[in-house]
Chain A
Amino acid sequence: MDQIKLTIDGKAVEVPKGTTIYKAAKTLGIDIPILCYMDLKGLNIENKPGGCRICVVEVEGRRNLASSCSTDVSEGMVVKTSTIRVLNARRTVMELILSDHPKDCLTCAKSGKCDLQDMAIKLGIRNIPGQEFAEMSTYRLDTSPSIIREMDKCIMCRRCETMCNDFQTVGALSAVNRGFMSVVAPAFEMNLEHSPCTYCGQCVAVCPTGALTEVDHTRNVIAALSDPTKTVIVQTAPAVRAALGEEFGLEPGTLVTGKMVTALRTLGFDYVFDTDFAADLTIMEEGSELLGRLGKFLAGDKDVKLPILTSCCPAWVNFFEHNFPDMKDIPSTARSPQQMFGSIAKTYFADKIGVKREDLIVVSIMPCLAKKYECQRDEFSVDGNPDVDFSISTRELGFLIKQANIQFNGLPDEDFDKPMGESTGAAVIFGTTGGVIEAATRTAFELHTGKSLSNVDFKELRGLEGIRHATIDFGGFPLKIGIAHGLGNARKLLEDIKAGRSEFHAIEIMACPGGCIGGGGQPLHHGDSTILKARAKAIYAEDTSKTLRKSHENPYIIKLYEEFLGKPLSEKAHHLLHTHYFDKSKNTFSI
């Protein structure tokens, strides 16, 4: 590869041809300030529209300043990154960006975690000249079940567009209009609800300002907790425990399961349960469904729908309902663990403790924004009463704990309540890409072959590659498994199935990078794959630490079937634990 020699701030450096000034400076330890630029290295996603001009630098012999994030180095280039001219330009650029930006920082949902705010602090902005004459951005508020668009606060960095289009291939967002009127919006500037948005929340995860935020349900949770007539129970998704600590300054990958349980109990939840219990239940249903379809296939049934696709990721469900409605009979009909939990809580558990359905409030803590939408789907409620009342994100739980003045890092470890707090190692790995299919494999293998697994670690299913595949020996039958995370990768597998090119028997799909550990509701990972890897490691560590690591060995799941559900795929199980899908391709742009 050609090497280019240049000088940055008086220091000589040699970098490969095609390197940007910004990256070349980085190799020298010079951190040029950036705002719109985003480099998600682990995902091979780079956003460099060169639009904000915060990263400008002086290049000798060049008339104007160059945006370092989008200008490639050239031989003999002499770059100065912090001359007075550069500093003045950055300040002016920042003042202009701020001139029409709302000034409600004190109450903004992004306050304290806002890249724009950080940059204003860094550049020492204290006043904005000409503010009194500046026209303010105004744009209607767009509130969907999961995501709020407050486009007054959009600085047109277009990171969201990059995630939505390049990574997820959802195409809900695009820059529209021009000049002062430009915003990022769905087609025809309709609300997100009428776009192909899957609510994966990756746009929220990368938004540098308060322009894209999650719908805040913490108020509803506080109201429920303070209502003496309600019994309030909570379930926590597997990925939450591997990331919540980051909200309190702990290292990524610090497992805080016990502290989280204590914090939730301190907040006043009557029962602290685990979504992992329902994940074990999901494996019982989904695994049985896989074996059922596989059995038919092996018996020569040509019409059997294979591959079976996992269905626990609500953004993925939204994605295929919008984009592949003709394939909606391929995914498993098993509801997601969140919904299985809600359904069992409001029937079996409510009965057990003698509380009426409407007096039981189910709250879920999720790494996900699509879960907010999922729990509001009509098919997941009974007479208007939802199975899961409120879903809040890992970040929102962080806010709640801080508001309650709980000193999280000093909390002792406590255990989940019984019966819906008991889970196996198979359930906790649901939180990372490859985990659901590994959990399903552990159970399906034993049920199919009648043999006991000597080693439950299917390491060939793990990793952070966007698309992975493995073949597992199912007692002589080679079970071909596919795994994708990120909807762009999922789309490739789906196109293969559609074209009849797919050889897989089972495919796991998760919408977010790394699976739920990189969910849109998690502490912001800024695309740093080392953070995702650390979280995945924590998840697998919790799996290894458990005595029971196969879903069908969870004693409370066995009891649930004995006392209530009968068998997997029984009529009752179908009624409470399965669902059906809709063709949403048509109502997307009906205006």
Chain B
Amino acid sequence: MSSVKIELRKDQIEKIHEICKSFNYEGGELINVLHKCQHEFGYLPAEIQEVVAEQLKLSVAKVYGVVTFYSFFSMIPKGKFPISICTGTACYVRGAENVLAEFKKQLKIEVGETSADGKFSLSCLRCVGACGLAPVVLVGEKTFGRVAPDGVKAILAEFEQ
């Protein structure tokens, strides 16, 4: 998994320390600590994983292993408007794959990546409980239902300005 090299600020490191402390520095809480960190920072760059490993007394390799195992965790910063396409059964049979293909084509990125301008990132999820609206797309907090490939351009345009 590729990553962007960053330098953590002092207050950011302290924030990670605080999160680790709130879980009593327990190695068994690694997944929860990573969840909190991702919520705080948006993603989990190598530098954050190193601090977490050091605080929880785990090897960095182990932390990286967990980060790469669970699809929820990401080492790439999410776009300003994260796009999630539901590929659960209902959405899938109603053409979610074609919608996803169109997003990839328009944004020139793959699932798990972020567009060069940092605006959009693409991910898939399984069922948002709105199967009646299938196929469903989420952009940031906004939900779009019955999306067809030819409607993708318009959705993106809404967030372009």
Enumerate chain A interface residues (CB-CB to B < 8 A). Answer: 165, 170-178, 185-189, 195-196, 589, 591
Contact = CB atoms under 8 A, between A and B. Distances in A.
B62 A591 contact: no
A171 B60 contact: yes
Nearest to A196: B59
Contacts of B49: 187
B61 A176 contact: yes
Contact of A172 (B3, B58, B59): B59
Interface of B: 1, 3, 5, 46, 49-50, 53, 58-65, 68-69
Contact of B46 (A185, A188, A195): A188
B6 to A, nearest CB: 11
Given A165-B59, A589-B46, 18 more contacts: A171-B61, A171-B62, A174-B59, A174-B61, A174-B62, A174-B65, A176-B64, A176-B65, A177-B1, A177-B69, A187-B53, A187-B60, A187-B63, A188-B1, A188-B60, A189-B1, A591-B3, A591-B5
Contacts of A189: 1, 64
Contact of B61 (A173, A177, A178, A591): A173
A487 to B, nearest CB: 13
13 contacts: A165-B59, A171-B58, A171-B59, A171-B62, A178-B68, A187-B46, A187-B49, A187-B53, A187-B59, A187-B61, A188-B3, A188-B64, A195-B61
A175 B62 CA distance: 7
A322 B64 CA distance: 19
A44 B161 CA distance: 63
Contacts of A195: 61
B69 A187 contact: no
B73 to A, nearest CB: 11
Nearest to B70: A178
A499 to B, nearest CB: 15
Q: Which 3 A-B pairs have the closest CB atoms?
A: A171-B59, A174-B61, A174-B65
Per DSSP, chain A at the interface is loop
B61 A186 contact: yes
Contacts of B5: 591
Per DSSP, chain B at the interface is helix
B13 to A, nearest CB: 15
A165 B3 contact: no
Nearest to A170: B59
A175 B69 CA distance: 9
Contact of B64 (A174, A178, A196): A174
Nearest to B61: A174
Contacts of B3: 188, 591
A499 B1 CA distance: 38
A147 to B, nearest CB: 15
B68 A176 contact: yes
A196 B72 CA distance: 27
B28 to A, nearest CB: 15
A186 B58 CA distance: 13
A166 to B, nearest CB: 11
A330 to B, nearest CB: 22
A68 to B, nearest CB: 26
Contacts of A172: 59, 61
Contacts of B68: 176-178
A189 B49 CA distance: 13
A315 to B, nearest CB: 17
Contacts of A187: 46, 49, 53, 59-61, 63-64
A161 to B, nearest CB: 9
Nearest to A197: B61
A174 to B, nearest CB: 4
B147 to A, nearest CB: 28
A178 B73 CA distance: 13
A177 B75 CA distance: 12
Contacts of A196: 59
A186 B60 CA distance: 8
A174 B63 CA distance: 9
A185 B64 CA distance: 10
Given A165-B59, A172-B59, A187-B59, A589 B65 contact: no
A174 B69 CA distance: 11
Task: Kindly name the residue among B1, B59, B63 whose own CB sees the greatest number of chain A CB atoms within 10 A.
Answer: B59
A172 B61 CA distance: 6
A591 B46 contact: yes
A511 B69 CA distance: 31
A178 B1 contact: no
A591 B65 CA distance: 17
A173 B58 CA distance: 12
Contacts of B46: 187-188, 589, 591
A150 B105 CA distance: 35
A303 B136 CA distance: 70
Given A188-B3, A189-B1, A591-B5, A175 B59 contact: no
Contacts of A174: 59, 61-62, 64-65
Contact of B69 (A165, A170, A173, A178): A178
A237 B46 CA distance: 41
B49 to A, nearest CB: 7
Task: Kindly name the residue among A170, A187, A196 whose own CB sees the greatest number of chain B CB atoms within 10 A.
Answer: A187
A173 B61 CA distance: 6
Contacts of B61: 171-174, 176, 185-187, 195
A178 B59 CA distance: 19
A173 B63 CA distance: 11
A165 B58 CA distance: 10
A291 to B, nearest CB: 37
A253 to B, nearest CB: 36
A187 B49 CA distance: 9
A295 B1 CA distance: 55
Contacts of B64: 174, 176, 187-189
Contacts of A185: 61
A318 to B, nearest CB: 15
A172 B68 CA distance: 16
Nearest to B71: A178
A486 B149 CA distance: 60
A175 B65 contact: yes
Nearest to A165: B59
Contacts of A188: 1, 3, 46, 60, 64
Contacts of A175: 65, 69
B74 to A, nearest CB: 14
Contacts of B62: 165, 171, 174
A196 B60 CA distance: 10
